[in-house]
Structure 1
Amino acid sequence: MDEDTMPKDVIADAGSDLEDLVPEGYKPPPMAEPETTPWGIDISDADFKKLQAGFRPADHDDKWFFLATGPDEAGITSIHIIRFFSHMVFYALNIKPGDGDRFKVDSFTYEKKVSVPKTEEEAKEHAVVLCRGHLECDFEVLPEYDFFG
């Protein structure tokens, strides 16, 4: 990890000793072995807003944080799901505006270098479970998944 992606600030509120995971201008580090696949699922405006807002760990018990970047020149907003202590990006949901008040997860990127999950489908399921658990997203077009790992 280079100096541009390393968090440097300290959270000032509540006397926390946690590093500030998302200082001004923070950019998620690149994945070592990314695999991007089409997904094409529709999500609601409410879910998109929750994903955009993200999730910031409150203490050492939180294992994940969620960071939105973009939109880029193509209108894609990426939601990065990052492991707290390693600052390793496991997943990215690449979202573009859809029809009406809907959005579309156009593609999904996952880190192939990690041992769990082992398949693309497991990676998608794990990302959905994390989004539902941490951000209270519905992803109403998808079934309920059992948590694993």
Structure 2
Amino acid sequence: MTSNDKTTESSEVNGSDLDSADEYVQRARIKDFSKPTSAPWAVVISHEDFQKLMKGFYPKDMDDKWVVQTDGPDEQGFYTAKFARSWTSFLIVSLKIQVELGENGEVLSDRSPQIQEVSWELDRKRWGSRPDEPYTDKDAKEIAIALCQGRLGFTLPE
């Protein structure tokens, strides 16, 4: 593992990590961006869709190709939804999400969660395709939109 291949993993599983079949949702070891960049993206999502992001997605077979995992909140109260390739664990796209938290750290329902920023990997080799063309915020947003709809079951506004 190189210094650029830092991994993120969850150290414990609690009741909120159970899916509808009462099986533990798996947590992936996701390798951080090697060459990150970001752009603002102001998108409001519902609390229901935020919960789907929190639950995430772990591939059941090799055809699924993606992991979606949300971590947080961080010290500033932001959550990060991570979209990574399942075979390489390379982080390709992430969304920085702001939610209103109560005194005990609970998500308050009086203000909708808002995506503040989209980040993506600039190292084209990590994407595994289009090695001669640079990736843009449009590409990163398209990946997030497609995976939210295809893997998490909700439509992310464009």
TM-score, reference length from structure 2: 0.70
- Deviation of 1:85 after TM superposition, in Å, equals 0.4
Partners of 1:101 and 1:64 in 2: CA distance:
30
> Alignment partner of 1:102: what SS?
coil
Partners of 1:6 and 1:59 in 2: CA distance:
22
- Flag structure 2 segments of 5+ consecutive residues without an equivalent: 10-24, 101-108
Equivalences for residues 102-121 of structure 1 within 5 A:
102-114=112-124, 115-116=129-130, 118-121=135-138
> Per-residue CA shift, 1:47-104, capped at 9, x if unaligned?
1000010001111111001111110011100010010101100011110116824110
1:132 alignment partner in structure 2: 149
- Deviation of 1:42 after TM superposition, in Å, equals 0.5
Partners of 1:67 and 1:6 in 2: CA distance:
10
The one of 34, 51, 54 equivalent to 2:53 is 51
Equivalences for residues 4-23 of structure 1 within 5 A:
5=7, 22=27
2:98 alignment partner in structure 1: 96
Count of residues paired in the alignment: 126
Percent of residue pairs bearing the same amino acid type = 31
Partners of 1:66 and 1:136 in 2: CA distance:
12
Contact map agreement 2:7 2:32 (CA 8 A) in 1: no
Partners of 1:132 and 1:101 in 2: CA distance:
23
TM-score, reference length from structure 1: 0.74
- Flag structure 1 segments of 5+ consecutive residues without an equivalent: 8-19, 143-149
> Alignment partner of 1:47: what SS?
helix
Mark the CA change 1:61 to 1:109 in structure 2 (over 3 Å): closer, same or farther.
same
